[in-house]
Amino acid sequence: MSSTPFGLTIGYLAYPERATLTDPKPAFSWCFDDGIQSAYQIQVLTENGQVLWDSKRVAAAHSIGVRYDGPWLPSNQKFTWQVRLWREGSSRASAWSKPQAFATGRMGMTPFPSPKNDAWENRNPLQLTEIAPERIVKRGDGSYFVDFGRAWFGTLQLSGPAAARVVVHFGEKLASKNSIDRKPPGSVCYRSCETLLSSRERVLVPTPKAPFAPGVRRGAVQVPPGYDDVLPFRAIEVEGWPGEFKSEHARIKALHSAFDDKAAAFSCSDKTLTDVWKLCQHSLKATSFLGVSIDGERERTAYEADAYLAQLGHCLMERDWALYRWTLELLLTYSTWPTEWAHHLILMAEADWELTGDTAFVSRIWDRLDRKLLRQKARPDGLLVAGAIVDWPPAERDGFGGGAIATDNRQMAGPMVNSVANAFYWHALMGMARLAKAVGKSGDYEQEAERVRKAYLAAFLDPTRGVFRDGEGSDHASLHANLFPLAFGLVPDANRSTVVALLKSKGMACSVYAAQYLLEALFAEGEAETAVKLMLAPGERSWRHMLEMGATMTAEAWDAKFKPNLTFSHAWGSAPANLIPRGLFGLEALEPGYGKIALAPQTGGLEWAKLTVPTIRGPLKLAFDTRRGGFVFEVELPGNVTAEVTLPGDKAPRKIGPGKHKL
């Protein structure tokens, strides 16, 4: 008998029972353990159990994005849906899935994202999680140190053994094992306040104001109505506590988007790399506290590059595609200033399509997305005339362009015809070409991309050195001028070895942001060991250093010396969350919706590694081991998923289907 369906989503929401839908024809998706589906049957039931729509038996393999085709769904009603399936080679139906509840909102309406953050239809909900102390220490002066283990965006609730007025110090970073850092670097959180305890009930400690004003810039995202303001903190110190401080006296009320901690998992022979993955997982969960991907505590603003890097990791740890759709739509209106940031919105749309297989979302935003190409900035040969952010902060640009300042925005770098802005332009054109085919849109994207590619190589490739110059009028070959074209596939085969050699010679001469693309390029070129070493390198420029600094969420920069106002709550620093599955295990969607994938594992110098990745079709479970000599790769694929697996030394990929495999 076919396996019972599980992991049901509707409207691409993993938690529809706590959300509301407005799409009159929402999409149903489900998972199952093994085999290939040959048919399915969906039933939608009203709150009182009456069948509103029965698809009957449909002979089709589709298990994602199946559209509702029944009577008009009325607004503000509750429903359930269930599905059963037939598997190839079996005439018997599976058991019905566990019913999935969902509710409708204002049907036919499309809520518009805004910084007020007051529309919550078609989004997974926020939730409050109680976090108990991990460690309580009474210090010599009678004060208490209370450590919750890692930082959360939340509020503090206290209940005392007696009524008393106490002073509470909040800290995101520790100064020592039993004290918080009251003078942390940059915008890392330290705040204090007085509060009155009650012996009868928990009281909410007022959230003390930041020494800076978080979320004041245009487009800053607000805490949703109905929630108290939050701050990021890991530990507290309490002065004036009456009696003994016990665990039940304190709780963090952590605010975050719905998140299944067990959906993804990673462990390996290097404990530090395992800890880095866990750091990234917690960062993506904790920084989702507004239901929008933001840049961190200081600005609480959505930025295009930040959101894309977070999307790549978050959606391989939890099936929350809706958070990034909402962020993308917000950024289409509340855009930021860097040239390449506009192109990141196209990358976000393409990533959503690859993750979900859905084209309806891209179709709806198509015209606004097309404008993000910035074609109006192109000169006759196709190259953009525009400054580039290159990297941030500016000191991380590896001397790009000899320090030239862009004439269109003084926060960006010149030359005005440069290799970084145009690498992104070509990459975005190629993305639009793929999306256009998927959604049935016309356009000359592919032809324009080819024109830009030829002009790019003519303008920036130094044929003598075999590397790329920063821009026209510059002979400098920075790390950035080479890492982006290599990551995007712009480097001719004849020049790849010299570009890789340049990257390896410079190491991590870039910021936390550009490290995503540097490591992506190295993994793609088979340099997994170099990439892993850079992640874990001793010194100030690695994720090892983030852990050594005491950050429990990924930092905005490698160290405060590189960015004096850094935060310890910046999701754009979570690149290992996607680089481990995509780079170390070579995971790639060969079809949108992960029906067909590629796997090309590299050891990266590790003896063994295990990974679980959630997808819209179910979890992928992967593991490699070299401890018994040779390379053993174990793969478990969910139903309706096939893979092309290329092991080290293979000349051609091996094709496998759903189920467990040992290669």
Q: Is 281 among the domain residues?
A: no
Residue 578 in domain: no
Nearest C-alpha neighbor of 578 from the set 152, 292, 272, 284:
284
Half-sphere exposure at residue 478, Cβ-oriented, CA atoms within 13 angstroms: 26
In this structure, are 211 and 170 located in the same domain? yes
Per-residue DSSP letter, 224: P
Sign for the CA dihedral angle at 541, 547, 550, 553 comes to positive
Question: What one-letter code names the amino acid at 347?
Answer: L
Q: Is residue 348 part of a domain?
A: no
Q: Are residues 100 and 194 in the same domain?
A: no
CATH number, residue 61: 2.60.40.10
User: Does 153 lie in the same domain as 240?
Assistant: yes
Helix, strand, or coil here: 460?
A: helix
Position 4 scores a pLDDT of 95
User: Could you tell me the CATH number of the domain that includes residue 635?
Assistant: 2.60.420.10
pLDDT for position 209: 85
pLDDT at position 219 is: 77
Q: 141 and 37, same structural domain?
A: no
Same domain, 138 and 93: no
Give me the chain's average pLDDT, please: 96
3-state secondary structure of 128: strand
Q: Which of these three, 211, 230, 257, is where a domain ends? A: 257
In a domain, 588, yes or no: no
31 and 82, same domain (yes or no): yes
For residues 250 and 133, what is the distance between their CA atoms, to the nearest angstrom?
7
In the beta sheet, which residues pair with residue 9? Answer: 29
- 96 shares a domain with 51: yes
* Residue 111 resides in a domain: no
The range of the structural domain enclosing residue 246 comes to 126-257
- CB 292, CB 326: distance < 8 Å: yes
**How far is 359 from 534, CA to CA, in rounded Å?**
37
d(CA 256, CA 154): 9
Both 251 and 196 in one domain: the answer is yes
312 found inside a domain: no
> Angle CA(444)–CA(448)–CA(454) in degrees, nearest 5?
155
Specify whether the CB–CB gap between 599 and 635 falls below 8 A: yes
Tell me, letter by letter, the H, E, C secondary structure of 307-333. HHHHHHHHCCCCCCHHHHHHHHHHHHH
Is 253 within a domain?
A: yes
The answer to whether the CB of 471 falls within 8 A of the CB of 456 is no
> Cβ atoms within 10 A of the Cβ of 594, count?
26
Which CATH number does the domain housing residue 208 bear?
Answer: 2.60.120.260
In a 3-state reduction of DSSP, which class is residue 142?
coil
Long-range Cβ contacts of 281-284 (<8 Å, 24+ apart): 281/317, 281/577, 282/150, 282/552, 282/553, 283/553, 283/554, 283/569, 283/570, 283/571, 283/573, 283/574, 284/310, 284/313, 284/314, 284/317, 284/318, 284/571, 284/574, 284/577
Residues 6 or more apart in contact with residue 440 via CB below 8 angstroms: none
Q: Which residue has the tokens 């790009």?
A: 400
Shared domain check, 197 and 241: yes
Radius of gyration in angstroms for the set of CA atoms belonging to the chain, rounded to a whole number:
26
Report d(CA 284, CA 577) in Å as an integer. 9
Same domain, 244 and 206: yes
Q: Residue 55: its pLDDT value, please?
A: 98
Q: Are 30 and 63 in contact (CB under 8 A)?
A: yes
- Integer Cα distance of 527 and 541 in angstroms: 19
Domain boundary among 203, 236, 257: 257
Domain count, the chain: 3
384, 374 contact by CB (below 8 A): yes
Q: Are 252 and 187 within one domain?
A: yes
First to last CA, the chain: 27
Domain boundary among 104, 134, 159: 104
Do residue 223 and residue 132 come from a single domain?
Answer: yes
- Could you tell me if residue 46 is inside a domain? yes
Residues of the chain with pLDDT under 50: 1
- Kind of pairing between the strands at 100-104 and 20-21: parallel
